[in-house]
Structure 1
């Protein structure tokens, strides 16, 4: 097994454990055992728990970005692409492994004590708003639509995690339809 294979296995195992139970509750010994690697090998690949946490955050970011973009690209019209993100959320919320947004969870758990985690979570959320901003611009909507839709999506993630149902995605999508349609009807949309 190559070093890349070992690294990938450790990250995947940490991802599963952190998602299921939180980051702080998972120790290095438990991670080593679950990943099936020696403690020496674990520390060769990741010199600290924080380096594993950052690798998991990178994995979460890539998974979110790729999954969201794939779902959005399935929509033909610019308006539909703006709303497709809520369809992606509905699919994600319906997965058995859904425990809420890993970035919101990790920020809540470690943001006050880990500047790296806090900064990565901020950058992830910022990149989402930029992405939504591009979708809004492609639709001819004013720039203020992007943060509005992003807030709806963020609220839906938190609500779905707490409620344990995917209903929040549908509610957020219907609210987004109202916002999108109102934004596209505003005369100032070309100046946005």
Structure 2
């Protein structure tokens, strides 16, 4: 299966790279297509020919970010023995936050800027969160947790809370705190 990255023309690649940097760094609503086209070295006509609309470009940015996150998370988690993989998601999250998310979760940030539930990017955000919850559930199943649905919900809340608080700098080491809380939840579930 080809990723979005592999399917783009060189001009579209430049547009998406510019948009990703600008949308994450400055905010989706603060960035116009003129700036994206200028940064990408293309005309607005090329931007619209490749993506159709700013809304579609925002969705493409988030889909590619989701592809990178999923690949990163699963590769990092797979390095751990099965019994340690649930907690490894928090270790991977901590590294990702330092490397890719100094402003917090790009999906949460996008959702905050896009209140219209019908916006195509909101569908990407919702899909990304559903995927993460399903992945956490699978890891709970592999760990032999008796109630994987309940624990997966708790773990998702811990992941999401950590990313939001990281972006706000409201708590020192929110991912570390979330990891410790996840360990206690795993202990209660009899998985550790």
- TM-score of the pair, normalised by structure 2: 0.89
Pair 1:7-2:26 in alignment: no
- Segments of structure 2 that go 5 or more residues without pairing to the other structure are 1-6
Q: Deviations over 1:69-102 (max 9, x none)?
A: 01100101x2310001110111122237521111
- Partner residue, 1:89: 93
Question: How far did 1:3 drift?
Answer: 6.0
SS at match of 1:99: coil
Question: How far did 1:115 drift?
Answer: 3.2
Residues 144 and 191, structure 2, Cα contact 8 Å, conserved in 1: no
- Partner residue, 1:181: 187
What is the correspondence of 1:99-178 to structure 2 with a 5 Å cutoff?
99-112=103-116, 114-141=118-145, 142-143=147-148, 144-163=150-169, 167-178=173-184
- Partner residue, 1:190: none
Paired positions, count = 184
Question: How far did 1:166 drift?
Answer: 6.8
Counterpart of 1:38 (choices 34, 43, 46) is 43
Residues 156 and 168, structure 1, Cα contact 8 Å, conserved in 2: yes
Question: How far did 1:13 drift?
Answer: 1.0
Q: Which moved more, 1:55-64 or 1:177-186?
A: 177-186
Counterpart of 1:66 (choices 52, 65, 71) is 71
Question: How far did 1:46 drift?
Answer: 1.5
Separation in structure 2 between the aligned mates of residue 180 and residue 54 of structure 1, nearest angstrom: 35
C-alpha spacing 1:138/1:82, structure 2 compared with 1 (3 Å): same
Residues 166 and 173, structure 2, Cα contact 8 Å, conserved in 1: yes
- TM-score of the pair, normalised by structure 1: 0.89
